[in-house]
Amino acid sequence: MQLTDAQLVTKILRGDPTGFQELVSRYQKPVFGICYRMMRQREEAEDLSQEVFIKAYRYLGQYNHEHKFSSWILKIATNTCIDAIRKKRVDTLPLDEEIKTNQEDVSAERAFLQEEAHREIEAAIGSLPPDYRIVVLLYHHQGQSYQQIADQLEIPMSMVKNRLFRARKMLKESLKKLKEETLWTAEQVQKS
């Protein structure tokens, strides 16, 4: 029978480090996924994932068994990435899904336009302030509820809703501006 996360933590805290390898195996992919979506660089995501597990091991004694271990470690991952972003002041592109096109059904021009739109959305999300970007990432890409995000980031649910609302408003404005610039450029090309 497989031990629960809480049982593994207890085992580790009692001096048996073999349980930690099981926790790493369970959470390696989700931790890397968050790091990669936030940093958009595989090597950096791998480094930060290792840092997350080092922090988790170091602070395992502070883990509260009343909460889910998954929330705790994913919060460490999120905060580690936010810290890295702040230190480097790197604009990130949190989307990692490629536009899937069926070449038989979609013309090359339409595929190009879809890919261009995807890049524009990535750039717009990447330009959001980190506090807003992480909420968009957790809500739209991780599929977390308002309450899960609030718990993970340790902020009130009203703040999660507010940040998501403001992020969407910023994205709408950013994409509207981009569309206007694109139309203006197209008109200038046609006039020449």
Instruction: Identify the structural domains of the chain with CATH numbers, from first to last.
Output: 1-90 (1.10.1740.10), 93-192 (1.10.10.10)
Alpha helices (H) in the chain, listed in sequence order: 5-13, 18-39, 42-58, 69-88, 108-126, 130-136, 146-153, 157-191
Residue of 38 and 28 predicted with greater confidence? 28
The 10 Å Cβ neighbour count of residue 11 is: 17
Q: Tokens in use for 172? A: 């709408």
The 10 Å Cβ neighbour count of residue 51 is: 18
| Alpha carbon distance 105, 124 (integer Å) | 28
Please give the mean pLDDT across all residues of the chain. 80
pLDDT at 58: 93
Res 188 pLDDT > 60: no
Q: pLDDT band at residue 185, thresholds of 50, 70 and 90?
A: low
* CA torsion angle 88 28 68 149 (round to 10): 40
Instruction: Say if residues 153 and 145 touch (Cβ distance below 8 Å).
Output: no
Residue of 101 and 150 predicted with greater confidence? 150
Instruction: Say if residues 49 and 30 touch (Cβ distance below 8 Å).
Output: no
Res 160 pLDDT > 80: yes
Residues 6 or more apart whose Cβ sits within 8 Å of residue 31: 49, 52, 53, 73, 74, 77
pLDDT at 85: 77
| Alpha carbon distance 28, 2 (integer Å) | 17
Instruction: Say if residues 16 and 10 touch (Cβ distance below 8 Å).
Output: no
Res 106 pLDDT > 90: no
Measured at the CA of 33, the angle between CA 21 and CA 53, to 5 degrees, comes to 35
Q: pLDDT band at residue 129, thresholds of 50, 70 and 90?
A: confident
* Mean pLDDT in residue range 124-145: 83
Does this model's pTM top 0.85? My answer is: no
pLDDT in tens, 43-85: 999 999 999 999 999 999 999 888 889 989 988 998 898 788 7
